[in-house]
Every structure is written in structure tokens, then in C-alpha cells.
Amino acid sequence: MRIVFEKRKSRARGILFAVPALSFMISMLLSGIVLLIAGANPFETFASMASGAFGSSNGFSETLVKTIPLALTGLAVALAFKLRFWNIGAEGQLVLGGIASSWVALFLGPSLPEPLVLPLCIAAGFAAGALWAGIPGLLKTRLSVDETLVTLMLNYVAILFAEYLYYGPWRDPKGYGFPGSAPFIEAAWLPRIFGRAHAGIWFIPVIALLFWVLLRRTRWGFELSIIGASPRAARYQGIAVQRNILLAVLLSGAIAGLAGACEVTGISHRLQQGLNLGYGFTAIIIAWMSQLNPLAIPFVALLMGGILVGGDQVQMMMGLPSAMGTVMQGLILFPMLAGSLFTEYRIRVLSGKAKKSKVACVEGEA
């Protein structure tokens, strides 16, 4: 008797949903064990996390506050991942978007006609994110420099640049030494819709739907899918691979930059510490758990936002480290990855002699 793995021709729909769901449950189980070892009651902790994140209107609005950047960066990352461009720089693109948006609000805003201020702030964030992602994008497509490292290093650079600005030249002289810029004029504020949750939330369905339509219904999206599946095949089809990758990466950075613009215009109303809370990294988990499906990303982002708010909640209520939320999120990925064996391959137990030709040898995946 032998066990063989056959590469699936197409991924089974049921499994596509079952693996993330099961992974979430396994991560709950593993987190439960971590909690037990840490000396806390897992059921009580999870219940407290859930009620903290979704149980009250205040908690739910905080969950939405986190969902907005998470969903946007999740969509941004997923778009790049579709092309196997490993953009782990959403964090930096978000920060740079926030910086550009703040620049418009602080320095152009007072002299602009009021209705123009907010749209320009948002546009600036969009453009700055694209610009920041364009660096690794160009390096990758022109010089084939590895994008994983460049996107990651630029995170640090963007975060340090923001620090320089709010500790240095942009620091509010009336801020009592508080590290942050002066507050924006009100024309640059995104309207609040529910608690602290702001109108930036509307970008999520719009971008998710556009992303879905792009991939499923347009020629360009079709080209992107081919590039993602096999760059070589795409080249033989006459698709401009490098140009398409660059365009998608610019768009990916722009969406992450938009998230940054929403953070400063919707939440803090100034450039200050706490713009980089690791959303760009959680975005990777979200994109992967959604299996890069843009329509699933908002819901997974909501779940992850809830876990983060719940993590803060158990810190206040039960004295557990707030990093509990991050641990839970990290634990989700491992069962997901192990499960990819079942989404990519069909497992067959053969008895006796089977034909050798039935067994597929795996081509490498970079």
C-alpha cells in the first residue's frame, strides 16, 4: 500500500472554505493550550474576547476601526500576492500614505477651498503608497532584485521617516512635548459614522468589488491570473509580464497608502505615534486566510480586527498580555499552510501496483 499525492487540476470549492475554517478552530485550540499554560481559563478568555470585540456598540465600533486598515491592506497585499509578488511592505506603504495625507492636510489644507481638502488628502495617500511600492516594483521588474527584502526594509525606512517628522520639523509647538504634528483643520477630517468608525469603511466594499470584477471580468485581470499561475506561459501568450506586475504593485501600494490616509484623516487627525500597529503584517494573514479572494477579505479582516480588540480587552479585564491576539493570529497560519497540501493535492491510497504515470511529479513553486 502506498500513499500518493496528485496535483489537483482545479481546487475543490468545499475544501477552499473548509481549510480556513478548520484552521481557525485549530488555532483556537492551540491558543487555548497557550492560555492554559499561562494560567488562564481559555473559555472565559475567548468569551471575554468575543464580547469585548462584538458584544457592545462601543466594542464593535473599535473592531470596525481596526477592520478598515486591515481590510484595505489585506486587499492590497492580496493583489500583489496574486502575481507572486511578495509585498510585505504594506506597513510602510500605509505609513507613507499617512505622511503624504498629513502633509496635504497640514500645509496645503488651510489655503485650499474646503471641499477639496479631504479628497486631496486621500489622493495624496493613494499616490504616496503607490510611489513607495513602486521602488521595489521597479527594482524587481527592471533589475530582478528580490522584492521580499526591499519591501520589508522600506517599512523600517518609512516608519523612521514618520518618527523624524513628528519628533522633528512637524512637531506641534503647542503639543506639550507630545510626539505628534499639529491637529488637522476640520475640513480634512473623514466623517465619523458609528462611534470612532469613519467613512473610510466605504472604500472596502468598493475596492473589494472592483478587485473581484477586475480579476473575473476584465482582460487585464485575466492576464494577471495567467502571470500569477505561470509567468512563462504568460510570456508565450505575448503578455507584457513586467509591465503588468509593475502596474499591479503600484495599485497594491496605492490601496495600502489609502489605508494610511484613512487612519490619519479618520482617527488621529494628526500624524502621530501609533500609525504603524502592524496592520501590514496582519494583512498577510488575512490575504492568505481568504485564499486571496477579494470578497472574503473584508470578513476575515473583521474577524482579525475583533481578535485584536478582544486581545486589548482581555488585557484590561484579565491582566493577560495584549499580545494574545497576535499569538492567535499567528497560530492560524500554520494549520492553513499544512492544509494547503489538501487544497493543492489529491491524496490517494493505492493498493497493489498502480501505474507510475498516474503520479505527478511536482514542479517547483517559487
Partner 1 sequence: MDMITSILAITIRAGTSLVFATIGEIFTERAGILNLGIEGIMLMSAVTGFAASFYTQNIFIAVLVAVAVGAAMAALHAFLTVTMRANQVVSGLSITLFGSGFASFLGQRLGPASNNFRLVGLKGARFMPASLEGISEVPILSAFLNQDLLTYLVYILIPLSWFFLYKTRPGLWLRSIGEDPQTADAMGIDVIKAKYFYTILGGVFIALGGAHLSLSYTPGWAENITGGRGWIVVALVIFSMWNPARSLWGALLFGGINAVQFRLQASGTNIPAAFLNMLPYLGTIAVLVLMTWWEALSKKVGAPAALSQAYMREDK
According to CB under 8 A, which one of 43, 107, 167, 194 is a site residue for partner 1? 167
Give dist(CA 364, CA 366) in Å, integer: 6
Binding of residue 16 to partner 1 (CB under 8 A): no
* Nearer of residues 6 and 186 to partner 1, judged by Cβ: 6
Binding mask 280-299 for partner 1 (x = CB under 8 A): -x--xx--x-----------
Q: Binding of partner 1 at residue 12 (CB under 8 A)?
A: no
- Is residue 164 involved in binding partner 1 (CB under 8 A)? yes
Alpha-carbon gap, residue 310 to 332, rounded angstroms: 16
- Quickly count: other Cβ atoms within 10 Å of residue 80's Cβ: 30
Of the ranges 94-102, 195-203, 247-255, 317-325, which one interacts with partner 1 (CB under 8 A)? Answer: 317-325
Residue 199 C-alpha from the chain's centroid? 19
State in angstroms the smallest separation of the CB of 315 from partner 1: 9
Alpha helices in the chain (DSSP H): 13-37, 42-54, 57-82, 90-103, 114-143, 147-167, 203-217, 219-229, 231-236, 241-263, 279-289, 297-318, 324-344
Q: Looking up cell 505561470, which residue turns up?
A: 230
Q: Which is nearer to partner 1, 206 or 366 (CB)?
A: 366
Q: Is 138 in the site for partner 1 (CB under 8 A)?
A: no
DSSP letter, residue 200: G
* 309 counts as binding partner 1 under rule CB under 8 A: no
Query: Which residue is listed with cell 493583489?
Result: 79
Kindly tell me which residue out of 161, 212, 222, 299 binds partner 1, with binding defined by CB under 8 A.
161
Q: Do residues 88 and 249 lie in contact, with contact meaning Cβ atoms separated by under 8 Å?
A: no
Provide the minimum distance between the beta carbon of 350 and partner 1 in the complex, in angstroms, as a whole number: 9
Q: Does 366 bind partner 1 (CB under 8 A)?
A: yes
- Cβ distance 75 to 67 under 8 Å? no
Of 157 and 185, which has the nearer Cβ to partner 1? Answer: 157
Decide: residue 219, CB within 10 A, 0-12 exposed, 13-18 middle, 19+ buried.
exposed
List of residues contacting partner 1 (CB under 8 A): 2, 4-5, 34, 38, 86, 88, 139, 143-146, 148-150, 152-154, 156-157, 160-161, 163-164, 167-168, 281, 284-285, 288, 320-324, 326-327, 329-331, 333-334, 337-338, 340-341, 344-345, 356, 359, 361-366
